[in-house]
Structure 1
Amino acid sequence: MHELSIAMSIIDIASEESRDRADANVIAVHLKIGRMSGVVIEALLSAFEIAREETLLANAELKIQDVPVKVRCPKCECDQLADSIQCLCCSVCGTLSPEITQGCELEVVAMELETSKLTQ
């Protein structure tokens, strides 16, 4: 289950950012995960729940944006949603496309941090 190693990497990234910002608590980590990334979102959420225990992210939430697959259609000459991940065809004209332009992402795009310091 490679989702556990991904969850641990997310925790490492967020923990480092938290340490760089003294006294910052990680409230949430925002991800973009493409449907062609090979990541099972439900498995990642479960793995994150387990991996975050006894870390700086013990109470953090994982917020995931599911990114659909887009292909560069050679006939329409623009990016279009693919019919499915099994058939990389343009959803407008049905032309098969070899070029995927979106949907392979697996990236941390934002973190919500909270500092415990009070401002006066």
Structure 2
Amino acid sequence: MSIVSGILENVTEVARRAGASRLCQVNLRIGVMREVVPEAMDLAWEVLCEEDPLTDGCKLTVEDVYPESVCNACGERFTHDRFHLRCPVCGSADTRLIHGRELDIISIEVEHPDEPSQP
């Protein structure tokens, strides 16, 4: 709930400053290492969007970012799941996560008062 609340706070502020009459869609990029539960996020989004006429009916799209690390021992860049962080080339556990913990607002789509509503 707090993640969604923070996102909505940021995007509604931007939309209002831009003179938007309605926030139509928010596009996020979230790393799977962030361990956000999609169902909980969807429910929180639905509930919190209903509280403000600017966000009521706003759609949420999420792009998953899968883990990628670099080995500090040999320099190998590799993808992996949440649990296997060892370098597949040299076996070192001295690795650094470079992707997979993102929580980024990529874009928002708004409607302005002078634009017709989308069906």
Q: TM-score, normalized by length of structure 1?
A: 0.82
How many percent of aligned residue pairs carry the same amino acid? 27
SS of residue paired to 2:95? coil
- Deviations for 1:40-94, whole angstroms, at most 9, x for unmatched residues? 1221111111111131211111110000000103466242211x1011134x537
Partner of 1:64 in structure 2? 62
Cα distance between partner residues in 2 of 1:8 and 1:21: 20
Cα distance between partner residues in 1 of 2:30 and 2:90: 25
Which of 1, 15, 18 in structure 1 is aligned with 2:12? 15
Instruction: Report the CA distance shift for 1:101/1:23 in structure 2 as closer, same or farther (over 3 A).
Output: closer
SS of residue paired to 1:62? strand
SS of residue paired to 2:35? coil
Q: Unaligned stretches of 5+ in structure 1?
A: none
Cα distance between partner residues in 1 of 2:68 and 2:49: 33
Instruction: Report the CA distance shift for 1:49/1:77 in structure 2 as closer, same or farther (over 3 A).
Output: same
Backbone CA RMSD of aligned residues? 1.9
SS of residue paired to 1:99? strand
Q: Which runs of 4+ in 1 moved over 2 A?
A: 73-79, 92-98
Instruction: Report the CA distance shift for 1:114/1:37 in structure 2 as closer, same or farther (over 3 A).
Output: same
Which of 89, 96, 99 in structure 2 is aligned with 1:93? 89
The alignment covers a number of residue pairs equal to: 113
SS of residue paired to 1:71? strand
Partner of 1:46 in structure 2? 43
Q: TM-score, normalized by length of structure 2?
A: 0.83
Q: Unaligned stretches of 5+ in structure 2?
A: none
